[in-house]
Amino acid sequence: MLGDFSKAIDHAVMDSSQAHQNQMMQALSDPVRATAFARVVFDLLKAG
């Protein structure tokens, strides 16, 4: 592994965590978004 690759991975993981936190708060605070998200997940699972 070269250079700052390990640090870049750490930053990517932290950024991902922040994005997921934002999405979680949107889904939990907005029933319309929560329903839309549930539909997407259901359709993905159904498509298998």
In the prediction, which pLDDT does 1 show? Answer: 63
Q: What's the angle, vertex CA 22, arms to CA 5 and CA 6, rounded to 5?
A: 10
**Closest C-alpha to 37, from 19, 23, 21:** 23
Give the pLDDT mean for 20-43: 94
Judge whether 27 and 37 are in contact, CB under 8 Å: yes
Range 22-48 average pLDDT? 94
d(CA 30, CA 26): 6
Q: Tell me the per-residue pLDDT of 1-31, one tens digit each, with 9 for 90 and over.
A: 678 999 999 999 999 999 999 999 999 999 9
Q: Are 16 and 9 in contact (CB under 8 A)?
A: no
